[in-house]
Amino acid sequence: MKIVCEKEKLLKGINSVVKAVANKTTMPILEGILIQTNDNEIKLTTYDLEIGIEYVMNCTIQEQGSAVVNATMFSEIIRKLPDTDILIYMNENNLLVIECEGSLYKLATMNPDEFPELPKIEVEYSIKLEQNILKNMIRKTIFAVSTEENRPIFTGCLFEIIDNKLNVVSVDGFRLALKSNFINTKVNDFKAVIPGKTLNEVNKIMTDSYDTIVIGVAKNQALFEMENCKIVTRILDGEFLNYNNVIPENWDTRIRVNKNNFQNCFERISLISASSSEKEKKYPVKVTIDIGKVTISCTNQTGDAKEEIYVATEGKNLEIGFNPKYFLDALKVIDDEEIYVDFGTSISPAVIRPVDDGEYTYMILPIKLKD
Amino acid sequence: MKIVCEKEKLLKGINSVVKAVANKTTMPILEGILIQTNDNEIKLTTYDLEIGIEYVMNCTIQEQGSAVVNATMFSEIIRKLPDTDILIYMNENNLLVIECEGSLYKLATMNPDEFPELPKIEVEYSIKLEQNILKNMIRKTIFAVSTEENRPIFTGCLFEIIDNKLNVVSVDGFRLALKSNFINTKVNDFKAVIPGKTLNEVNKIMTDSYDTIVIGVAKNQALFEMENCKIVTRILDGEFLNYNNVIPENWDTRIRVNKNNFQNCFERISLISASSSEKEKKYPVKVTIDIGKVTISCTNQTGDAKEEIYVATEGKNLEIGFNPKYFLDALKVIDDEEIYVDFGTSISPAVIRPVDDGEYTYMILPIKLKD
């Protein structure tokens, strides 16, 4: 193998694939990047046995071949080289040689034949959307993915097509986030639960652009395809929550509030709420709704806090307890100026919806207030 | 106590004093800020028994008094309040009340009488200089302060006045950094070793401005005085190195090199050097000087690296080993375009000096190369 490649171009490829490099593995080859030539292209591959990433790019090939090299070392060296052409080749001692101006690096390599093959995927369903749209959908839901491994299905986001609409849903037992988007081309209904970890990496690789991404779903795997880059992931097995049944359709109390003001109140109050000792982590804040006013308050051993905010209210007065973190998580990702918050009784979930975005729904379970 | 204070002004004061708040202390009062009124001013004080900081500012005093409140909690709440006037007072239950628009916080307080007094300092010597100058002097020397507590004197920087020139010196057994600056007003000779920790905090509080700072030195303490802010610190006891005797005056080999190019070479090569296992931390890079050329190289189990750079050379050829980190530390803080590096034999220290700044000297001990 012998190639010549522009530094910035190569670095872009490396930055995309390093996200699937295994760390803390007993198989050193998974800490490597597989470099393969193919005519006038090279392909970079990484695979931690859960997520696999391939990146293809043009470059000058002087000799076909392949190599596996430690990903961290390779990427750090390339990153620090001057912004010019880099010559990379295997020498007679099986070392990967990197030459650029006055710099000469020789790195130990591993056997490319031992690099595990990415699963072959026979796509059954696929949808195409703009990267900025998928990025936004992931950002608005991923934080509510469960971190508890005892119910693995909820460590992923449900991707569901119904009536040509993509719904992305996450739920962790305390709250649920749902973001929807119509797909412009005709697609068949399907469901797949994609691991949260994969979506985090996909999100980092996508740009906030109109460039498209194709999501392909097979029996046990899914595929995200961008221009140069392909991400393969397993999908999670099991029955996801039938979320439509749990989101309340009606409300007894509704407030309409400026999102930023509401967020600031919760940020301040959570300083007091969070300052209670670790054991009392779920010490709630009390939300009190009177006509035209919401009061958020919290008392614990370090102090006492009260926030009053004037809002439009409809329906009954109410007193209800919440973990302020769960409010904040959603408020932070909402870009709209105004939101509705709908409540039932003091033991039923509250629902946040942006006033001007019917495609986002966030539901939070209340916490019982101490008497 | 009852005061009204602009948020941004108060926050600036808090940000200055929080640097001397103790963490992990058995005396909770040291985790507090002492707030004291005095006519139409308030004074904020923190003291971790090593460094003490006082900050004085004007504000509207409605009732004289004092309070001690947990610094972290107080600063976080003030930071998150809207940018407007804040009313702060003690209520009948000894809680500190913070009121601002719809926000009302009540924090537990501690007894101001229990807050330890800052040491009274009778300044024997003092010098005045611009903050930007002192900032630069600290930045160029502090990284070479020793972290080993078994010789505490070297965990500080020597501040020494000789012939109206301030020399700041740090040394850790492997390298030495010296930055000098003439003082415009007449000052007497003195010496004091200021703890590195203090200088770090002083550095964070100073601005990169022409505003002045006064350094006052007493028998066991030193004092840094800025417009609103006063920092008190102990000084270190013991005999500092007689540094003039150890910096070589002559050289056998001299190179003149572009600082950035040289730094880039060392940054790349240290990827290989640092990748050797922890036990071999001091695995050296080899610096080889031939006429017109420096070669920096390193070999270990992960790979093999060589950097060649064309430079102006004078004197003998040489082969010498170094820990590249010690080169990098100095190269990172040098702002000049070109440097001299002067060498003696392969076992004598090398000295870096900017070509256009005779006031900075950095000396590094070599490491024996393995055969």
pLDDT of residue A280: 46
Cβ-based contacts of B304 with chain A (< 8 Å): 95, 105-107
CA distance B77 to chain A (A): 6
CA distance B107 to chain A (A): 4
A273: nearest CA partner in chain B:
B73
Alpha-carbon gap, residue A5 to A12, rounded angstroms: 12
Tokens at B341, concatenated: 């590096």
Among B95, B103, B302, the residue with its CB nearest the CB of A268 is: B103
Q: Residue count of chain B, please give it.
A: 371
pLDDT of residue B274: 73
**Three-state secondary structure readout of A50-92:** CEEEEEEEECEEEECCEEEEEHHHHHHHHHHCCCCEEEEEECC
**Quick check: B323 pLDDT over 50?**
yes
Tokens at B191, concatenated: 């010496």
**Mean of the per-residue pLDDT values of chain B:** 94
Q: What percent of chain A clears pLDDT 90, i.e. is strictly above it?
A: 90
> Are B80 and A265 inside 8 Å of each other by CB?
no
pLDDT of residue A275: 66
What letter does residue A137 receive in the DSSP assignment? Answer: H
Cβ-based contacts of A268 with chain B (< 8 Å): 77, 80-81, 103, 105
Cβ-based contacts of A106 with chain B (< 8 Å): 303-305
B261: nearest CA partner in chain A:
A82
Report the number of secondary-structure helices (H) and strands (E) in chain A. 6, 26
Cβ-based contacts of B95 with chain A (< 8 Å): 303-304
Alpha-carbon gap, residue A247 to A250, rounded angstroms: 9
Chain A residues bordering chain B (beta-carbon distance below 8 Å)? 70, 73, 76-77, 80-82, 95, 102-108, 264-265, 267-268, 271-272, 275, 301-310
pTM for this model (two decimals): 0.90
pLDDT of residue B271: 87
> Are A105 and B275 inside 8 Å of each other by CB?
no
Where, residue-wise, is CATH 3.10.150.10 in chain A?
A: 2-114, 125-244, 248-364
pLDDT of residue A315: 97
pLDDT of residue B280: 47
> Are B302 and A73 inside 8 Å of each other by CB?
yes
| Lowest-pLDDT range of A115-129, B4-18, B238-252, B274-288 | B274-288
**Quick check: A273 pLDDT over 90?**
no
* ipTM score: 0.88
Give the model confidence (pLDDT) of B64-101 as tens digits.
999 999 999 999 999 999 999 999 999 999 999 999 99
Give the model confidence (pLDDT) of B226-283 as tens digits.
999 999 999 999 999 999 999 999 999 999 999 999 999 999 999 888 765 554 455 7
What is the CATH number assigned to the segment(s) B2-114?
3.10.150.10
Residue A157's DSSP bridge partners are: A194
Cα–Cα distances in Å, from A367 out to A200, A317, A326, A349? 29, 18, 11, 10
Q: Which fold has domain B247-364?
A: DNA Polymerase III; Chain A, domain 2 (3.10.150)
Q: Residue count of chain A, please give it.
A: 371
Where, residue-wise, is CATH 3.10.150.10 in chain B?
A: 2-114, 125-244, 247-364
CATH architecture of residue range(s) B125-244? Roll (3.10)
A127, A168 in Cβ contact below 8 A? no
CATH architecture of residue range(s) A248-364? Roll (3.10)
Cβ-based contacts of A107 with chain B (< 8 Å): 302-304
**Residue B155 binned pLDDT confidence (cut-offs 50, 70, 90):** very high
Mean pLDDT score, A281-296 = 90
Mean pLDDT score, A197-202 = 96
